[in-house]
A and B are shown apart, each in its own frame.
Chain A
Amino acid sequence: MRGFLYDLAILAVDEGKAIEAGDGGFWADTAGIMLITPFIAFLAILAVGKKLKHNGGEIAVAALAINLLWASVLFVMNMTGGVLTETTFEIARIGSDLVFELGWAVDGLSIMMYFLVNFVGLLVFIYAIGYMKGDVRVHWFFAAFSLFAGAMLILVGAPNLVQLIIGWEGVGLASYFLIGFYWDDLDNVKAGNKAFMTNKVADVGLILGAIILGVSIGTFDFGELSKLAAEHDEALGAVALVGGLLLFFGAMGKSAQFPLHIWLPDAMAGPTPVSALMHAATMVTAGIYLMARTFPLFQNFDDLAGDGRMWMVAIGTITLFAIGLLALVADDIKKVLAYSTVSQLGYMMTAVAAGGYTAGLFHLFTHAFFKALLFLGAGSVIHAVHSNNMSDMGGLRKYMPTTYWTFVVGSLALAGIIPLAGFWSKDEILATLGHEGFTLVMWIAIAGAFVTAFYMTRAVALTFHGEYKGHGEPHESPPIMTGPLVALAIPSMLFGFLNVPGLSLPGIGNFTEWLGVRVVAMGDYHPESVDWGLAAIGLAAALLGIALGWRLWGPDKDTQAARDRFNVPVLYPLLRRKYYIDDAALGIVGATTGPIARFIDWTNTYIFDGIVNAVGGMTKWLGGITYNFLDQLGVDGVFNGLSAAADSAGSSVRKLQTGRVQQYASGFVAGALILVVLFVFVI
């Protein structure tokens, strides 16, 4: 059936904007297969995975390959005309009109995500077959990984909030499993717990938000929600602010927004493919996706689109800049990438919150490719040197060229160097921010671009340049791993052109249009033409970052050594006076960025982590109090006390039984007399 999206499309038409969309026919009706195959793979791998050559890797890959077929077909159909339909079936009906449904939406947004998840997912799975070879319980790895894919697809395909929650917690579960994949070491388990618990806290927001919105409008259906939002429905308006902010809080958890980002760096405890697919490309973007799905809600109600938006943009901004700085001091290459991911998520969130629906999603789209690429590259390196620390690397470019070149491509894309993908998407964000009047934010974002380029350059330099400081003889990874690197490098380079403002590719239009007719009904902004001035500034910031980074961590020995002194900047001028000007420049940079970064690192470790640990400890302590004092002594004590009392009463009462017959008789007579006195004279 055409479903809610179609209604919305009609709504768009009412606003006089032309849309033409097919119902996707067979491919859309059967799109649900994509939501199921990974679960079949999951069970199959658990059942027979151990016995297979690649421990079930082939099953997982096969499943995603099938999915990618559907995803691609739909993607193309959507380019060439648009697809718009949903399929749902009822899983519960309470009373007359509280209905729960499962199903799959097929529209620009979900198709984009289907494609993203399945494309990147497939490559990562293939890569993982090589990466995980010979590792422990590989079959469990692929099982859990397939579980993730399924849950993620359920999430992105969700036509309503409830199914979204199901997928949402599902991916959380998978990430718990995979972060704690090496559970023999309890630290990894704790990292998994931390991720799950942080998200669970955020989910309280999601669930309450869903309830408040859903109950208020009588359905959890996204279409209804958007429609009513577009109509400025009163019942919805009444709860828009609180509901919207609660949803945003939920999004903050999954998408690692400050201050709930703390779990993501720890999540790097999982195998690298996991970090690539879940903690960079797809899962962490679920929050952005949620914001996009419910975008009309955030646009059409003054309080939410006003003050509410301020808060959300602020959070996003802090995230994109402050957390980005942390990447400067990390030595673990995966940590560098993790912080960078958080900062990029900050960009997306800022954009979507600011009303840049397309901008945010486009950055989500491009980022998925080059961040996955970077992680896989890092994985390839780690696989080679058996260490996460850049202090054990260096000079690897001659050992592993493919990895090097693809990694550089990814870095440049991330840094936002024209004409790579990152440049266009980041530029669109800047443009949107400027247009929506967040000028300050826009400048912070530009500074962020500088920082991004800065730390990526550092990463590249320390990893691939200088001389090798690790042990053994590093070697290029097998084709099964480099293949995906290349396959990801290409889109990282080219996909920027999919959405050059004002450029409509022949026959297929551009990303903005694919994202679907729904946008038009939501009064979002997307630039119609490139603002080259702004682009130039952004580009300049990036280049500056690269230049300084290169100067600071460039390949000559001294500065390679300087990297170590960089952590103690006060001493630095005393040790090196040679290039005075450079020293000055370096001094300034070192003296400023260093302490700031370390301060933020400190707050990160001691305040936000601290809070989490404190909360955890506190809760346990409270539990102790509740149980040992309240329960055992208090509530329970009352019960025990009572019976103890009855007991002693019994012993005292029975003392009456002295055995002396005449005392009995006295009691007898006394009783009689008391009765008489009582009833004859008193009453």
Chain B
Amino acid sequence: MEWFETWGLTITVFLPVVGAVLLGFIKRDNEDALKRTALVVSLAAFAASVLVVAGFDFGASQYNTYQFEVSETWIGAINANYHIGVDGISLPLLVLSTFVMVLAVIYSWNHWEEPKNPKAFLILMLILATGMNGTFVALDLVLFFIFFEIVLLPMYFMIGIWGDKSPRKVPGFSKVFETRLYASIKFFLFTLFGSAFMLLGFLALYFESGDVAGERTFDIVQLTELGSAGAFTGTFAFLVFGAMFLGFAVKVPMWPLHTWLPDAHTAAPTVGSVLLAAILLKLGSYGFIRISLPILPEEAASWAPFIAILSVIGIIYGSLACLAQSDMKRLIAFSSVGHMGFVMLGISTMTDVGINAAIIGMVAHGLITGLLFFLAGSMHHRYHTREMARLGGNIKLMPVMGGILAFTAMASLGLPGLAGFWGEFMALVSAYNPLDGLSLGVFRTAMVLGAIGTVLTAGYMLWMLQRVNLGEPKEEWEGHEFKDVDRFEMTAWVPLIILIVIIGFYPRIVFDSTTDAVTSLVDMAFGSDATASISSITGG
């Protein structure tokens, strides 16, 4: 396994894109071969990531020390390196990403959107996988940027080609757009806008590091050391943080930069929405944890209340917006705004509890909302509408699917005992007692509002269940033959369900990986007295 220490991550990241190339050589009409190859490749990538977990030393997780680390010169001229590695924070997300990718491939086995073109679709999916896995392991700002952006291309085509073809009237424009076209370009422009400024931020760090450390570097590890040593401060830090904030906040998405999300999610083909919700949104929040916070701790602390406020607005706002939706998928999309609000609230507290909350929140949201989008897709597949007004009595027509929908909705509203609970609960815990020096007023208000947000969440989820799942089916479905969950859907969904329950009752499987890393991250950024926020006031 020696070689795996060095090659493990590289394999995990690039296997999918290699697979994409392979698919390129397979005849377009040979669908089975295409699907099988894609499945094998994604399974292999998942297996690789599992091997990484197996070989991961959970004991040694001092922050900023990475395992399976590789560092090779890449762009020597600007001292940008191919530097990758995992730690307790990125590990769960990496596994989540490879895992969901496998399910996505399985699901798409017999769910092809029009115009049917499995070859192109699978190729795009695999490219996407490389982008996502890469972002989670990149330890060099330039590399991170590249992976962060690679994700855009496939998603643009997924939404644009296989997206929702219904017309959409856009305020401010005279003409009516096809939803997919509007959504795809909107998605791309928003993210591009954010990442353009993010890049400026990275560059600024690069030069500043040259001034303070003698050698200019994009290396996250080195920059983290500099940052935690207080190298970056003042206006510089403010601007840099702001620039990176734009990049990450758009991706998360944080209010008020979220408006691309409902359109993108709604327009995207099922698998697209799933990956978008399950993984892509995490790239932003991961960026905050991995880059903004360790490298610019003081600045992060001074931005924290602002972020907290935006997060809470997001929570309330997203939930309220959900209550106004008539389109099931759009409702689920808006729910993401609220859930990611909790994640960001956790991060904004700058405490180990908060950041742990954020990470488990990301994982849980990935599983739950991913599953919700699978369901929405499958139902659209059968009803050919997502209008909740036309649905109803689904559980009578399709008991299994209805049951799973009910389960997932419950998980999504943060029912204790299911995965969704820990992220929300611990985010609130951390908000009660944020990093010393942060305004208690702001954060405790945030806690209360967040708690109220959970009520709203429950509200729209039950409302959705009532309109979609319960009551008598509408007349228009008289005599329709509805095929309940088929075996591909089952294979894709059951793992998610199991994981949601397991994490709900035994969150250790995530925390054991993250907690040490997070604790020492907070130690490193804010000094050891900042950690163990719980004990900091009780004296242990």
Residues of A within 8 A of B (CB): 90-98, 100, 102, 162, 165-166, 168-170, 173, 176, 180, 183-186, 189-190, 193, 196-197, 200-201, 204, 207-208, 211-212, 214-218, 235, 616, 619-620, 622-624, 626-628, 630-633, 635-637, 639-641, 643-644
Contacts and interface: CB of A to CB of B under 8 A. Distances in A.
Contacts of B202: none
A92 B172 contact: no
Contact of A624 (B324, B452, B472): B324
B321 A626 contact: yes
A95 B531 contact: yes
A636 B183 CA distance: 12
Main secondary structure of the interface of B (DSSP, over half): helix
Nearest to A630: B317
B428 A211 contact: yes
B324 A628 contact: yes
Contact of B324 (A92, A185, A627): A627
A90 B466 CA distance: 37
B167 interface: no
Given A186-B466, A620-B323, A637-B171, A100 B507 contact: yes
B343 to A, nearest CB: 16
Interface of B: 170-173, 186, 189-190, 255-256, 258-259, 317, 319-325, 352-353, 356, 393, 395-396, 410, 415-417, 421-422, 425-426, 428-429, 432-433, 447-448, 451-452, 454-456, 458-459, 462-463, 466, 470-472, 505-508, 511-512, 515, 518-519, 531-535, 537-538, 540
A204 B537 contact: no
The 10 tightest CB contacts between A and B, nearest first, are: A623-B323, A640-B172, A218-B538, A627-B324, A623-B324, A166-B416, A183-B470, A636-B259, A623-B320, A95-B352
A201 B432 CA distance: 19
Given A636-B171, A644-B173, A94 B352 contact: yes
Contacts of B537: 215-216, 235
Given A215-B534, A628-B324, A94 B356 contact: yes
Contact of B508 (A90, A98, A616, A627): A90
B511 A93 contact: yes
Given A95-B519, A169-B416, A204 B455 contact: yes
Contacts of B506: 91
Given A190-B466, A197-B462, A644-B173, A94 B321 contact: no
Contact of B456 (A91, A176, A619): A619
B308 to A, nearest CB: 16
A92 B447 contact: no
B324 A211 contact: no
Given A95-B533, A166-B416, 14 more contacts: A91-B506, A92-B507, A95-B519, A95-B531, A97-B535, A162-B416, A162-B425, A169-B417, A170-B415, A186-B466, A212-B432, A620-B323, A627-B324, A635-B256
B127 to A, nearest CB: 27
A521 to B, nearest CB: 21
Main secondary structure of the interface of A (DSSP, over half): helix
B507 A184 contact: no
A119 B87 CA distance: 51
B538 A216 contact: yes
B433 to A, nearest CB: 5
A49 to B, nearest CB: 13
A218 B426 contact: no
A211 B320 CA distance: 25
Nearest to B318: A626
Given A96-B531, A640-B173, A186 B470 contact: yes
B532 A211 contact: no
Contacts of A180: 470
Contact of B458 (A97, A200, A212): A200
A90 B454 CA distance: 26
A35 B463 CA distance: 31
Contacts of A100: 507
In this complex, which of B421, B428, B470 has the most chain A Cβ atoms within 10 angstroms of its Cβ?
A: B470
Contacts of B324: 620, 623-624, 626-628
A200 B171 contact: no
Contacts of A196: 458, 462
A184 B471 contact: yes
A216 B455 CA distance: 24
B447 A211 contact: yes
7 contacts: A162-B416, A200-B459, A208-B448, A620-B323, A626-B320, A631-B321, A644-B172
Contacts of B462: 176, 193, 196-197
B534 A184 contact: no
A93 B459 contact: no
Contact of B454 (A95, A200, A624, A640): A200
B49 to A, nearest CB: 23
A212 B256 CA distance: 30
Nearest to A169: B416
B508 A92 contact: yes
Contact of B538 (A165, A217, A616, A643): A217
A197 B458 contact: yes
Contact of A208 (B422, B451, B458, B533): B451
Given A94-B356, A170-B416, A627-B321, A193 B466 contact: yes
Contact of B534 (A92, A95, A616, A626): A95
A197 B508 contact: no
A248 B499 CA distance: 34
Given A627-B321, A628-B324, A94 B538 contact: no
A563 B425 CA distance: 52
Nearest to B538: A218
B471 A96 contact: no
Nearest to B316: A626
B432 A218 contact: no
Contacts of A641: 172
Given A211-B429, A215-B429, A189 B507 contact: no
A142 to B, nearest CB: 15
Nearest to A208: B451
B353 A98 contact: yes
Given A193-B462, A200-B455, A632-B171, A95 B353 contact: yes
Given A97-B535, A170-B416, A189-B471, A619 B433 contact: no
